[in-house]
Structure 1
């Protein structure tokens, strides 16, 4: 109970319980028993947390002394007490004693656990930051590098993709810190490589695995076996979720054991494929691309602009096609996250509803957006101006909240027009992802004839408006998803309703006319269902088309990001079909598409995970096999979307490249006059990919 109070930050209630627990453990088990020593450590560290340092210090000294006497100097509990003793010395200013204790803890842990055990991470972190505070940069870098080495070793183990994401998220701030130290030491190549290592790692692994299966000569049976493993694991996860809901503990344990055995067999099969097919082994291994190699992936007229963000601290890199790399510590940008959220809110509000009247002296929403465009441009682009202004094409690799910013709308100081007027802009999660997508492009060009367009939209929805789920509803849905991914039951608790989209029907009719001679597949209204999509996938039809368009509602769930989805038909669905094709379900589909256009609302958003980026629909579609994706960063009016998407595809059909076609469409809208010229109507569309 004391631990729970502590975890809830109810420390005043935790302290007396820890005191009582320690006293009773002493009476029952003796002062050197491990459980008593653990209780003593808990009490001392809670005193530290509430600022009672003079009481915490003697208790931690006692804990370390007794654990050495009773358990030995290399026992894990002794090492934990040693580390905590160093922390309290740091708090009370006994700095000359801190480093020797941290060094001793690290040395003993290496002897007990080995050079790359995760138990070393805490000690490495403490040593790195302590040396940094004392101004010994070289020593700090040394321990940060060892920290990264241990994390990389840990990530290479037999972990699920979800576990790798969760694991990496807690450690990625130290990658950022080391990269910033490299910049300060003029080690540009090292700084860039580490920045690449901190971006979209699980996506890279998923892309590499998919590419390996496609290019290494696996038999149809072997490829099917890999898919069967994934399907069986998904089924087991759903069954585990049901046992949790029904309190079937024994059944849960049984299913978890079965899951672990299946994961073990999958890993064994993976090892067999690597031994049998050297190319599979080569392609399965993720390569973090260097600046020199990555420069070869850039178009001749392009510059890569890569950012990494930790809280509001931003680092930037530029890479030219000749391999010239520059690094920039942009420092802490005050209110960055707040400004980005305000930016998106203003843009989406402008589209959604009539704005309240403003006082004469109050700036209009458009004026506020312009001011933010200048402010963000000053911080994010101006320091790079000499390196990027002369390049007609920018490939931007954003990070953290910057992934939800349309750089097209930003402005340089003194310029009246946004940068999209003179620059073509596309996005990619990292340079390493760009290189892998180019390999995917080469594979797809060898596929032979593919259909032109498959579109699905204007589904039949059952409601006349969107419901407003309660906090309780979201909490229940979150628990269901986190326990195993039973999305249908989770959506059932949310009870969402959606308006029909007459504009989507018009959009599909326009696309049907545009691609008439190439016989597109268009599924609308009663055919725009999840059941139909699943059937097309099972028949292998989805893998036969270059372009996809989904003209539907999009559901963004900040509370439960796994439920972010394309919303298909909600009427007359069979049991087990909810009509939501979620980010968690898309990787189960098989695509070989050059472009996916999601003209639904806010499909470019999702959960921001440290070290991964946006973990929503963009990530999921890449894993499914898509190459490029056009997404929306905020809600766009039905009518404007029809005109924008139709104009874009007309250029694409005429042979214009995707980035060029998207840029040209935006510039056309800028010249159309109100309301189309307003950036909130065209800047929401962004392209991720090659």
Structure 2
């Protein structure tokens, strides 16, 4: 066993060097394809620990270290490339960035407002050409960024544990495939979930949670019952049963290690990204977890190392609410951003339409106007844009507002050509879980960052000056939010997207992180206009009184629970989750 651990450790160290080099110099599609080739060794490290040597401290350390170094790595590499480019922008790089932004805008327009004069073949040819052009620009930008990047130091457990709050714990969930070296013909088992717990004193605990299929089914049942929000006895009974089932699978096994703790730093994986842990219970019929713990969400525990690496905000808060979906004003009544606002550096993928997107329309949200007024009372210097001025054109000119609050319709559209039931979709590669995990199976999938977005002024007419009123997640990643401390998307489904194991959700949540936002407050399901407005007014009142970004949300949720009535149902208070920095605004 010691020799096996040493051999695997040496191989992982070599892979880490190659991974760092490739992530710094490749375009996103190539990054993901390369990272997929390393899944086998990641699964091997976790399997060695959990299946063969659960009590071996060296195996424990190797498994957690591998998990911390690789989980969420693609998101981090894209974010780092953007930061480096912004700090070392050359005229040549600026020209390439401008070209890439133009390509993405053209792509979004082609998807959401396709010309009626094009045949299907011509339409697909234009999409393919845009993708090829963008890939070339991405690769060139990645190489430009790599020239300035300092040599990074691989993450170590000892460094990370120092960033965990007192009375807190990092909970790293992972979906993995167990490896059985004694069965060469069928060495990879069915996917499973596990949880690794890292404490401030460096102690590590790990628990295998069972087969992923059963846990994913429990997640779907829990989410379905929560979204209904019904108060009938039968509905509440069904919700309690679904809650208990999921809780027994993903929380009860780690609960014995959480005694006397107050703060859970949760890094979900795969389908666990779709649920609010706050709405689970400590026991059947007992307190909700939000009543026992402060819960913060991270893409990876590695995020703790960059919480203090921030840039100053350049403008006051900006509130966009109650857009006029039929008419847009392309005038810019606020200070324009620098022309160096940065796009993300990712592949556009296969961009076939999910549905006839040109037929998608939204109705007004008058309650968001009241919401904006209530927030403005506690943010006196905020710029408020409503109706025709709540436009895509104006939003794209903004430079790092301290707070960005967008109250409008959000959407996430299903893939027009989903992969097989046993596969997990990423941005450019689908990995078939029944195939060997050390070699990716490339399957063209529709780009999830084009299927997530926000509806702004002019959306229904697909007309907003030289824009179309549709801010896709792909375009949102182009915003310049380095210095923005909080993004609030007060809209339905803004926290949803496609799941990629180890990489979180490809949707608006990922896009605003890439744009530079420190913290995102987003919704997992549609809540009534008045219910959302009430929650937001309470949240900002507490936030501006000095509470932390996470504490303010928790206190708002506790307040709604204590008051009883319909708003005490988790359908109302658990719909929003906060990801990123939980501490007070600076």
1:335 equivalent among 204, 210, 214: 214
Equivalent residues of 2:486, 2:517 under 8 A apart: yes
What corresponds to 2:18 in structure 1? 153
If asked which structure has higher relative contact order (CA below 8 Å, sep 6+), I would say 2
1:586 equivalent among 453, 472, 476: 476
1:637 aligns with 2:522: no
Structure 2 Cα separation of the partners of residues 512 and 238 of structure 1: 32
Aligned length: 502
Structure 2 Cα separation of the partners of residues 225 and 199 of structure 1: 33
Deviation at 1:260, TM superposition (A): 6.9
What corresponds to 2:336 in structure 1? none
Equivalent residues of 2:165, 2:200 under 8 A apart: yes
1:309 aligns with 2:175: yes
Q: Which moved more, 1:374-383 or 1:299-308?
A: 374-383
1:565 aligns with 2:453: yes
Superimposed CA distance per residue, residues 30-53 of structure 1 (whole angstroms, 9 cap, x where no aligned partner): xxxxxxxxxxxxxxxxxxxxxxxx
Change (3 A) 1:170 1:320: same
Structure 2 Cα separation of the partners of residues 590 and 675 of structure 1: 39
Structure 2 Cα separation of the partners of residues 237 and 496 of structure 1: 17
What corresponds to 1:669 in structure 2? 560
Equivalent residues of 1:193, 1:288 under 8 A apart: no
Superimposed CA distance per residue, residues 341-375 of structure 1 (whole angstroms, 9 cap, x where no aligned partner): 11111222227xxx9x8xxxxx7222222222222
1:291 equivalent among 146, 157, 160: 157
SS at match of 2:240: helix
What corresponds to 2:412 in structure 1? 556
Highest CA radius of gyration, 1 or 2? 1
What corresponds to 2:344 in structure 1? none
Greater helix content? 1
Superimposed CA distance per residue, residues 188-212 of structure 1 (whole angstroms, 9 cap, x where no aligned partner): 1111111123411111102222343
What corresponds to 1:392 in structure 2? 262
Change (3 A) 1:228 1:406: same
Equivalent residues of 1:169, 1:611 under 8 A apart: no
Deviation at 1:269, TM superposition (A): 3.2
What corresponds to 1:504 in structure 2? 368
Superimposed CA distance per residue, residues 557-583 of structure 1 (whole angstroms, 9 cap, x where no aligned partner): 132522211111225524763322111
**Superposition TM-score, scaled by structure 1 size:** 0.65
Change (3 A) 1:461 1:143: same
SS at match of 1:555: strand
What corresponds to 1:596 in structure 2? 487
Equivalent residues of 2:393, 2:465 under 8 A apart: no
Change (3 A) 1:229 1:254: closer
1:405 aligns with 2:269: no
Structure 2 Cα separation of the partners of residues 253 and 497 of structure 1: 27
Change (3 A) 1:164 1:665: same
SS at match of 2:209: strand
Q: What does 1:183-582 correspond to in 2, within 5 Å?
A: 183=50, 184-185=52-53, 186=56, 187-213=59-85, 218=88, 221=91, 224=94, 227-228=97-98, 230-231=100-101, 234=104, 246=121, 262=137, 265-271=140-146, 273-274=147-148, 280-282=149-151, 285=152, 287-310=153-176, 313-332=192-211, 335-350=214-229, 364-413=234-283, 416-440=286-310, 443-444=311-312, 450-451=315-316, 453-462=317-326, 482-483=349-350, 493-516=357-380, 519-534=381-396, 537=397, 541-543=398-400, 545-559=401-415, 561-562=448-449, 563-569=451-457, 570=459, 573-574=463-464, 577-582=467-472
Deviation at 1:646, TM superposition (A): 0.5
What corresponds to 1:657 in structure 2? 548
Equivalent residues of 1:199, 1:612 under 8 A apart: yes
Structure 2 Cα separation of the partners of residues 191 and 492 of structure 1: 45
Structure 1 stretches of 5 or more lacking a match? 1-135, 275-279, 358-362, 464-480
Deviation at 1:426, TM superposition (A): 1.0
SS at match of 2:542: helix
Equivalent residues of 1:288, 1:432 under 8 A apart: no
Equivalent residues of 2:131, 2:349 under 8 A apart: no
Equivalent residues of 2:169, 2:265 under 8 A apart: yes
Change (3 A) 1:148 1:234: farther
Deviation at 1:460, TM superposition (A): 1.8
Equivalent residues of 2:225, 2:239 under 8 A apart: yes
Q: What does 1:43-122 correspond to in 2, within 5 Å?
A: none
1:162 equivalent among 29, 35, 39: 29
Change (3 A) 1:219 1:601: closer
Change (3 A) 1:565 1:145: farther
Equivalent residues of 2:68, 2:301 under 8 A apart: yes
What corresponds to 2:345 in structure 1? none
Deviation at 1:145, TM superposition (A): 7.0
Equivalent residues of 1:141, 1:178 under 8 A apart: no
Structure 2 stretches of 5 or more lacking a match? 177-189, 328-347, 416-445, 582-586
Structure 2 Cα separation of the partners of residues 421 and 193 of structure 1: 32
Change (3 A) 1:258 1:332: closer
Deviation at 1:159, TM superposition (A): 2.7
Structure 2 Cα separation of the partners of residues 339 and 492 of structure 1: 32
Structure 2 Cα separation of the partners of residues 502 and 156 of structure 1: 50
Deviation at 1:525, TM superposition (A): 1.2
Structure 1 Cα separation of the partners of residues 375 and 294 of structure 2: 25
**Superposition TM-score, scaled by structure 2 size:** 0.76
Deviation at 1:261, TM superposition (A): 6.1
Q: What does 1:18-57 correspond to in 2, within 5 Å?
A: none
Structure 2 Cα separation of the partners of residues 255 and 368 of structure 1: 48
Q: Over aligned residues, Cα RMSD in angstroms?
A: 3.6
Superimposed CA distance per residue, residues 431-451 of structure 1 (whole angstroms, 9 cap, x where no aligned partner): 1123224323xx33xx5x741
Deviation at 1:402, TM superposition (A): 0.6
1:622 aligns with 2:513: yes
